[in-house]
Amino acid sequence: MSLEQIKKRLNSFLASDTPEVIAIKGPWGIGKTFAWNRILKDAKKRGGIKLGKYAYVSLFGIDSIKDIKLSIFENSVGGGLIGESPTITTLESNAISTIGSYGRKCLSHVFGTGFFKQYVYDYPSAAFLSVNKCIVCIDDLERRGSPLRDRDVYGLVSLLKEQRECKVVLIFNETELKECEYEKFREKILDSEILFDPTTAELAEIAYPSSGDIYDYLKEAAIDLGVKNIRILKIAEKFVRDIESLLSHCKKSVLRNIVRKILLYVQCNYKSDDSYPDLEFALNMNHRAARFLDKDGVDDKYNEWNRLLSRYEFGGLGDLDLALASFVSKGWVDEFEMKRHASSIDRYEEINSRMESYQNAWNAYHNSFDNNTREIVNAMFHGCADNIDIISVDQLGQGISLLRQLGEEEKADFLIDTYIKSQRSKIEGFNPGDSFFRRELDGKFLAAIQDVRSSRLDERSLEDVLEKIVNDKGFGESEKEYLLRLSEDEYYSFFKSYSGEKLYFYVKACLMYKGFVDAPDEGGPTGSKIENALKRIAKESKINRLRVQGLGVKLDE
């Protein structure tokens, strides 16, 4: 039965005053109660409810028929309050007048006084006498207290229909009923039965009836992820709303990405079975290494999780992902960090948008065998030149190589000159050995980069380089190149001239990486420039000999 058919059937139920019992059953979390309340309120707005009173009762934890009767009485409301929670605003009026305006809940206070308890021993049953011609919704049948039997509830339902002229709605998860009495009694008490199992698209519409970008993104994400739990959808909505003001500056593409990730993280964090990965798995790229290939020996569950994340287009992880996941798991957000990470993603999206012209040039190259050399040359040149301030060294290098292979030397050299002049600070931090794709750069381009980097290296002192190595507890290619260029005399002069508490750490840093700074001496065997410099210092005095030995350097006897 489609959602529209369900709405039509329930609206027909509400529009009649004929006593009847209807059951709404479906899986846990599918939105049965949520949908019923929505349909009830919509019917009230258009005047589509025939009976003038309504009571909603959840059997969660209720242990006796007496408690059900009292709960029905307490939660009865009428007129404009149908579909709203009953309230007690005053006890100044007498019980009768309050019944008419606000429902019956306040009367329980009157019955609960010592006077009435003395003369009315079973006041819940006495109060229940006033329940008639009422729509009664009994929810959570499967969560009733253990002393309460199904058959007792069904007996009360029959009484409401047959003797009190009520219309009764039963809402439950059939698979979770503790006793197998439903099938036995359904024919005796039910007039009709609805299996509530909407599609993911229908459930998304139920959960998110509002319009706007955020709700469009939530609906799209819910469908793509296959979420069929109304609670998950509403929790995700709350998380998105909580940080909506922090994301007001974001582009739509960034906002969409954030909404999709929040829904995924909520589903992972609140999952009730293995249909979805846990949050740790989703955030751990090592666990997800199998996502591109089903591997033997990898749990089928993990392979399925990887396929699900791939279908959902869940990509690489960054600081924003970790901040969003922390927000979902902890329930609070660092507003400054969230804004900062969102801004960085916003910038990333802007770069991607601008780089479309560069990508289109490669698409023209890869996607056909047309004789379109001139078209590709122009597209690649402008794709690189127009984005010279944001293009990466790898991307520019690939473009330059293609242009040169197509005989466009002037265009390739122009791009190199333009990039070197305008992006010097970026080049200084670039290390050809760290190129993600490990492609060999164009020779002229690489030489130009190395010239810039060499001039930067010449500006640094040995102390600057050693300080960086000590702080980073390691060294990069630029530090390696710097140390390789120094002579034994330069190491000797530095060790002798430097004085301070960091000398020990600087020398140890040099010794730790001495294997990388060995170079063949002309006409002689390979030796360690650093150790030779220290051995020269050791020969100068007995105390220096002890100092050098203390650093772990082996000295000749």
C-alpha pair distances (Å), 278 with each of 265, 284, 304, 325: 9, 10, 13, 11
Q: How far apart are CA 349 and CA 258, in angstroms?
A: 12
Q: 276 pLDDT exceeds 50? A: yes
Q: 337 pLDDT exceeds 50? A: yes
Mean of pLDDT values over 180-199: 85
**Residues 6 or more apart from 118 whose CB is under 8 A from it?**
none
Q: How far apart are CA 454 and CA 401, in angstroms?
A: 23
Q: Specify whether the CB–CB gap between 309 and 261 falls below 8 A.
A: no
Residue 542: band (very low, low, confident or very high) from pLDDT cuts 50, 70, 90: very high
Q: What percent of the chain has pLDDT over 70?
A: 80
**pLDDT tens-digit series, residues 52-104:** 889 999 999 898 999 999 888 888 887 677 766 665 542 333 244 334 434 44
Q: pLDDT value at position 208? A: 93
Q: pLDDT value at position 508? A: 86
Assigned token pair, 287 = 């666990």
Q: Specify whether the CB–CB gap between 325 and 283 falls below 8 A.
A: yes
Give me the residue label for tokens 């919509």.
Answer: 42
Q: Specify whether the CB–CB gap between 253 and 351 falls below 8 A.
A: no
Collect contacts of 342-349 with beta carbons under 8 A, ≥24 apart: 342/246, 342/247, 342/249, 342/250, 342/254, 342/258, 343/249, 344/318, 344/319, 344/320, 345/250, 345/254, 345/257, 345/258, 345/318, 345/320, 346/249, 346/250, 346/251, 346/254, 349/251, 349/253, 349/254
**pLDDT tens-digit series, residues 456-487:** 655 678 898 888 888 877 777 677 777 887 88
Q: How far apart are CA 353 and CA 351, in angstroms?
A: 5
Q: Specify whether the CB–CB gap between 124 and 66 falls below 8 A.
A: yes
Mean of pLDDT values over 368-388: 94
Q: How far apart are CA 385 and CA 359, in angstroms?
A: 13
pTM of the predicted model as reported, rounded to 2 decimal places: 0.58
Q: Domain 3-198 is in which class?
A: alpha beta
With 0-12 / 13-18 / 19 or more C-beta atoms within 10 angstroms meaning exposed / middle / buried, residue 206 is middle
Q: What are phi and psi of 104, to 5 degrees?
A: -105, -5
Q: How far apart are CA 105 and CA 103, in angstroms?
A: 6
Q: Specify whether the CB–CB gap between 272 and 30 falls below 8 A.
A: no
Q: Which bin fits 333, alpha (ψ -120 to 50), beta or left (φ > 0)?
A: beta
Domain boundary assignment for the chain = 3-198, 202-333, 356-440, 462-551
Mean of pLDDT values over 545-556: 88
Q: Specify whether the CB–CB gap between 510 and 491 falls below 8 A.
A: yes
Q: Specify whether the CB–CB gap between 361 and 374 falls below 8 A.
A: no
Mean of pLDDT values over 274-286: 80
